[in-house]
Structure 1
Amino acid sequence: MAAEAGEAMMKPLFYAGLAAIVLGTVLGMFPRWKSATLSPASIQRRCYWTGSFVGALLLFIAVLPDWKSAVFVAAAVLAVLVVVAYRFTSHIKLGGKVYGYMRDQRHP
């Protein structure tokens, strides 16, 4: 009975994780608000990484009864999102330096 309830929650959590990743990606491309203190690039980065981490967490929880698979799924999703962020955006900023594949993406 408990296994059936766990399996019933896997699909909604999985789809919620995918939706969080898609929503974070879309808001990372098109910020929906402006801020007096934050630059648009900063808002885009925050939306992208929030959606990425929430999505990876939900995917981790969806696969959780098998914790080895759950860790693999979450790590694989985050690895893909880091590669996408490096290749196509300027969303990787560490220590005040922006990292990106193309030279024009490296300015803040």
Structure 2
Amino acid sequence: MQELIAISDVASNGVQRGHAVFMWLALGAIAIGIIGSTHAPFKSRTRSPDSIERWFYWTGCVTACIFVFMSQWPDVARALFGAIGGGLALVAIAFLRTNHLKVGGRVYAAFDIFRRPDRPPVLGSDESQ
């Protein structure tokens, strides 16, 4: 019986370490999303810088929510609470502080300054040459 307890202790420590890894991955995904959404990391002939920044933000948010869910996985209630709560917080941040909440071609933002149309693509098109 003592051996079984020791094995279960090791298993629970391993699971806890696994939870921490997923939380660090979630933090990294949020960091990449925020950094990529402040300045477009690359230029495009077809996509505006706002579109590229928006793509980085939402990709980082969705990835982070998935990692938060996975970090709490055995407890489904906590996993859903963390993922949905984090997702709602990130949507609220996008609504209050950015122009990243765009649905059907319309930007939804709390303040007029963020409701501007997207900037044109940085690189000129080949047709103009």
Task: Please give the range of the TM-score, normalised by the shorter of the 2 chains.
Answer: over 0.9
Q: Which residue in the other structure is 1:40 paired with?
A: 49
Q: Percent identical across equivalent pairs?
A: 32
Paired positions, count: 108
Corresponding letter in the other structure for 1:40? P
* 2-structure distance, mates of 1:94, 1:100: 11
Q: Which residue in the other structure is 1:81 paired with?
A: 90
Q: Does 1:31 align with 2:40?
A: yes
Deviation at 1:79, TM superposition (A): 0.7
User: Which digits, 9 at most, give the CA deviation of each residue in 1:46-70, with x for residues without a partner?
Assistant: 0000000001100110111101000
| Greater relative CO, 1 or 2 (CA 8 Å, sep 6+) | 2
* 1-structure distance, mates of 2:112, 2:23: 36
Deviation at 1:105, TM superposition (A): 1.1
* 1-structure distance, mates of 2:12, 2:76: 15
Aligned partner of 2:105 among 71, 74, 96: 96
Q: Does 1:11 align with 2:29?
A: no
Q: Which residue in the other structure is 2:75 paired with?
A: 66
Gaps of 5+ in 1: none
Deviation at 1:4, TM superposition (A): 3.1
Deviation at 1:107, TM superposition (A): 1.9
Gaps of 5+ in 2: 1-7, 118-129
* 2-structure distance, mates of 1:45, 1:32: 12
Q: What TM-score does the superposition give when structure 1 sets the normalisation length?
A: 0.94
How big is the alpha-carbon RMSD for the aligned residues of Structure 1 and Structure 2?
A: 1.0
Q: Which residue in the other structure is 2:116 paired with?
A: 107
Q: What TM-score does the superposition give when structure 2 sets the normalisation length?
A: 0.80
Query: Based on CA coordinates, which of the two structures has the bigger radius of gyration?
Result: 2
Deviation at 1:15, TM superposition (A): 0.8
